[in-house]
A = this chain, B = another copy of it.
Amino acid sequence: MDCNDIIIGMAGSGGDGVVSAGDILTASAAAEGIYAIMLKSFGPQIRGGESSCRIRLSTKPVLSQGDVIDVLVVFNWPDFARFGAELEVRDGAYVLVEEKDKTEDIPLPNAAKCKITKIPFEKLAVEDAGNPKAKNIVTLGVLGAMFGLPVEGIKREIEKKFKKKGPEVVAANHKAVDVGMEYVKAHGGPAELHFAHSSGKPLMALTGNEATAFGALAAGCRFLASYPITPATEIMEWLSREMPKFGGTVLQAEDEISAINAVNGASFGGVKAMTSTSGPGMSLMMEAIGLAAMAELPVVIVDVQRGGPSTGIPTKTEQADLMQAVYGMHGDAPHAVLAPADVEDCFEVAWRAFDIAERYQMPVIILSDQLVGQRKETVAPFNIDTVKVAVRATPDLSEGVKFKRYEDTPTGISPMTWPGMKGGEYLASGIEHTEDGSPSSMHETHEKMIEKRSRKLDALSGEFKFIRRYGADKPHVGILAWGSSKGAVREAVEKLGANGVSAAALIPELMHPLQKDEIRKFVASCKNLLVIEMSHSGQFEHYLGANGLLPEKTLHYRVSGGRAFSAREIESAVRAAAEGVEYKAKAQEPRRMMGKDEE
């Protein structure tokens, strides 16, 4: 059976190299022009713990990580069990297991409906490939031969990857691929399931965090100060490698407070600057983001959301920093919030964040999440020419013209200077101030200046459109969702449409200020409205309510984080909404398989 969309899952111990095999597979897909999304997952151990990955390959752009797995490779079942619902397999799936595993012990609820195939991975690696560590590479050979994956591409990737270690290493790994392929040929040959593809234009393979970092660099960001935190650290790691090549600076600050304030300082100096963090770091940055709002400094803050509250679940996604991003500062502190919905978006959102920050002189928060930030996708090379490199409005400093740094203008944007500009000297401050920057504690000044600053949001929402709509024009069920939910939502909308269910989705990417008119138009066009989000308390729904955008009857589908949405569950939620009822996710079955839950 030919297919052009296949999902492969692998699980094993740290030493089994399943993630590295996944990386090679994804990279070779990219090189062949095949679309892919790869998710990795690790246990709490830094080393030697369990790890897994799931790769969806398709000849068409893939929207989400996909629902159930078509081909599963498991080196170790206890390891597999730790990933619970993340690795659900479909009925009829191929399950490749170690030869020694007993079929009756396989803890899949639908094991009886799967095609269990025993393969002596370990033995092949040790005896035939001559290297116990090459088990994952042997596996790639097996997968390639069984399911028609791009084996030549895999070999090329292996070559690139091991080149530095010398030709012997490359040859040994190539041999491991061959060992796997030959084993398949000798034992039953290719499976019925065949991934039919032909080579296309090469794609890039990168994570959302890398795309964000690259977008910032392209926008002209030349200063990053951050403090390490999962799942945002890759932004700093990538920029610490690339930024110096462009004469920029990456500072690993002593904490997040220092990081955001260094960014405030750099921005005051006229340099485009950014910091990257996750929830706990965001919480620490609130005061200084408010300072940027008050002093009207262009700064960009990336929050790659993870499970919360507090330390929460650092390695998994959630969408529950939304209210903090919008309302987390004390006082009325105007700023913007943008949310990327996939890896490609990360690039655009990053440069647009700088565009907004620099032109409107305010903090812009990029609200990414672990699911977009850390997943790897194949995407077409970015069109760098689309990037607008924003320039701040500067004042007339000629003799005799009085420069007022915080001049009250119709848009609220006051032309600004920075050190080095003669005659543009001014005092930036977090204390309330008059148009010329002098401190003031008068209500009248406050009212006027707070009005001026907030006017920038009106100007922004008037000028800037960043919202996406998918599906039917007058849907039976209209979905409002945001951020990384987009993939599964869009996929569900398309599937439902193909199956005669009229659905549509609106995904705002400018989260604050909201484009209220667009949302109102959408809401008015829907028979039933369904808000979908990964926040137990329903932050997005509350936020829409706060903006007066929800009709009396709004349905919702919300779960807490710790996993990705699947298109399948969204479909179910939409089908329920079509009947006017709310869908509740079933308690996940695989959970019962686990021994101890603690990590």
Write the residues of chain A forming the contact surface with B, with a CB cutoff of 8 angstroms: 44, 84-85, 257, 279-280, 282-284, 286-287, 290-291, 293-295, 303, 305, 307-316, 318, 320-321, 323-324, 326-333, 429-434, 436, 438-447, 450-451, 454, 535-537, 539, 542-543, 545-548, 550, 559-563, 587-588, 591, 594, 596-599
A432–B430 Cα distance when bound, in Å, is: 36
CB pair B330 A450 closer than 8 Å: no
Write out the residue numbers on chain B whose beta carbons fall within 8 Å of the beta carbon of A432: 307, 311-313, 562
Name A597's contact: one of B293, B440, B542 (CB within 8 Å). Answer: B440
Contacts A283-B286, A329-B309, A332-B308; A597 near B438 (Cβ below 8 A):
yes
Query: What are 30 residue pairs bridging A and B, where the CB atoms are less than 8 Å apart in the complex?
Result: A279-B331, A283-B287, A283-B328, A284-B287, A291-B311, A293-B310, A308-B329, A309-B332, A311-B432, A312-B430, A313-B446, A316-B441, A320-B330, A320-B332, A324-B327, A332-B536, A332-B560, A433-B598, A439-B599, A440-B599, A443-B561, A444-B562, A444-B587, A444-B591, A446-B562, A450-B536, A454-B537, A545-B545, A546-B546, A548-B550
Contacts A280-B330, A294-B311, A330-B324; A84 near B442 (Cβ below 8 A):
yes
7 shortest A-B CB distances, which residue pairs?
Answer: A308-B331, A438-B598, A443-B562, A309-B331, A279-B330, A310-B430, A323-B327
Write out the residue numbers on chain B whose beta carbons fall within 8 Å of the beta carbon of A286: 283-284, 286, 324, 328
Starting from the known contacts A294-B310, A446-B562, 6 additional A-B residue pairs (CB-CB under 8 Å) come to A44-B441, A311-B430, A313-B431, A326-B327, A327-B327, A444-B591
A550–B594 Cα distance when bound, in Å, is: 46
Contacts A308-B331, A443-B562, A561-B446; A280 near B284 (Cβ below 8 A):
no
Name A311's contact: one of B314, B429, B438, B447 (CB within 8 Å). Answer: B429
Name A562's contact: one of B294, B315, B329, B447 (CB within 8 Å). Answer: B447
Write out the residue numbers on chain B whose beta carbons fall within 8 Å of the beta carbon of A324: 286, 327-330
Write out the residue numbers on chain B whose beta carbons fall within 8 Å of the beta carbon of A327: 323-324, 326-328, 539
